[in-house]
Amino acid sequence: MTSDTIHLTVDLGERSYPIIIGSGLLSDAALLQQHIGDGQVLVVSNETIAPIYLDALLKNTGAKDTIILPDGEQYKQMGTIETIFDSLMEKRHNRSTTLVALGGGVVGDMTGFAAASYQRGVKFVQIPTTLLAQVDSSVGGKTGINHPRGKNMIGAFHQPVAVIIDTQTLSTLPPREFQAGLAEVIKYGLICDADFFVWLENNIEKLMNRDGEALRYAIARSCENKAKVVAADEREGGIRAILNLGHTFGHAIETATQYKVWLHGEAVGFGMLMALDLSYRLGLLPITDVQRGEKLIKAAGLPITPPAGLPDVDGIIELMGMDKKVLNGQLRLVLMRAIGDAFIADDVDIKILKQTLTDYLGRSLNSALNSVLSPSA
């Protein structure tokens, strides 16, 4: 580790764990061995990440057992999880084993779910290699898989014992994946950290150019925000739901397109546009905040027009109704009163929701560009 390494803690009492953020951590044998241990270890990665980073991890931990999964959200399903269980049992792993997730959010979610389920729970360590996983999915203990009828509908809360974020892994991340991760970074500014949102407005160009200092700061600030919310509400009984800004909209789009068209962060970014617009239409959010949000999302290179082939508005609403945040049949959405002030609403006027969906699902590129300056009323 270097003097630039950042140490954070997710405060959950006896189950608290560290988040370590720095450059070159995959080469730090002492750090890796400290958190992974010297017992049985199964490293789970995918066919994209393994050729780049797996050898270094094995060399610096002494781990021998690995399983390489196919890459893509469409593989985040029960059949893939069963291959992890098969590997654990074939190699006779017991309750003292540690699973290590080396990859993005899909690898982390599935490894965590396997760890939560195998022999009723074993340890796991997150080593996220995408920006989205580093700032969001690796922290907080949400694990799971998708179902054809809904995203992340099967899973468990199971906290890692450590999150190790090597920022050097972002150097090999394709631009589209990097931009998708920025959606979750922007989310923290929108929901609970207005000062961070201003910082993002002033530094988005540095982030797009992958400036090391700016990236380290954005990752740390995002993880700090996530850790605070998780510590206050680990199992999403209340305030943690604000972390889902844009997600109910985005998950519906992902499900409608069978997880094959947009990356998760792209769907979330477009979902946040709709959440901003809906908040404005309901008289909750000033139009200037809608404009600032849309301008920043566009500057991050995220989609501002919908993908082709979506169902009609009623079809999207039906898919939104499958979301985990639905309670007693009531659709609950994360909305905003101001930048940095999000809340959970369970009494949204369906007619106004349909207006937002109609406008955004029918967007053309020209109308979207114009709306950055003048959102629809």
The answer to whether 134 touches 165, Cβ cutoff 8 Å, is: yes
Catalytic, 281? Answer no
Catalytic, 184? Answer yes
- The dihedral region occupied by 9, where left means phi > 0, alpha psi between -120 and 50, and beta the remainder, is beta
Catalytic residue among 93, 226, 281, 325: 226
3-state secondary structure the chain: CCCCCEEEEECCHHHCEEEEEECCHHHCHHHHHHHHCCCCEEEEEECCCHHHHHHHHHHHHCCCEEEEECCCHHHCCHHHHHHHHHHHHHCCCCCCCEEEEEECHHHHHHHHHHHHHHHHCCEEEEEECCHHHHHHHCCCCEEEEEECCEEEEEEEECCCCEEEEEHHHHHHCCHHHHHHHHHHHHHHHHHHCHHHHHHHHHHHHHHHCCCHHHHHHHHHHHHHHHHHHHHHCCCCCCHHHHHHCCHHHHHHHHHHCCCCCCCHHHHHHHHHHHHHHHHHHCCCCCHHHHHHHHHHHHHCCCCCCCCCCCCCHHHHHHHHCCCCCCECCECCEEEEEECCEEEEECCCCHHHHHHHHHHHHCCCHHHHHHHHHCCCC
Catalytic, 236? Answer yes
Catalytic residue among 247, 281, 324, 325: 247
Catalytic, 35? Answer no
Residues in the chain: 377
Catalytic residue among 152, 221, 244, 324: 244
Catalytic residue among 35, 123, 142, 332: 142
Catalytic, 59? Answer no
Q: Which amino acid is at 71?
A: D
Work out whether strand 341-345 and strand 333-338 pair parallel, antiparallel, or are unpaired: antiparallel
Catalytic, 264? Answer yes
Catalytic, 226? Answer yes
Catalytic residue among 76, 93, 251, 332: 251
Catalytic residue among 73, 177, 234, 236: 236
Catalytic residue among 76, 216, 221, 264: 264
Q: How many CB atoms lie within 10 A of CB 95?
A: 11
- Name 336's Cβ contacts closer than 8 Å, sequence gap at least 6: 190, 191, 245, 275, 276, 279, 284, 285, 289, 342, 343
Catalytic residue among 184, 234, 254, 294: 184
Catalytic, 158? Answer no
For the annotated catalytic residues, the residue numbers are: 120, 142, 184, 226, 236, 240, 244, 247, 251, 264
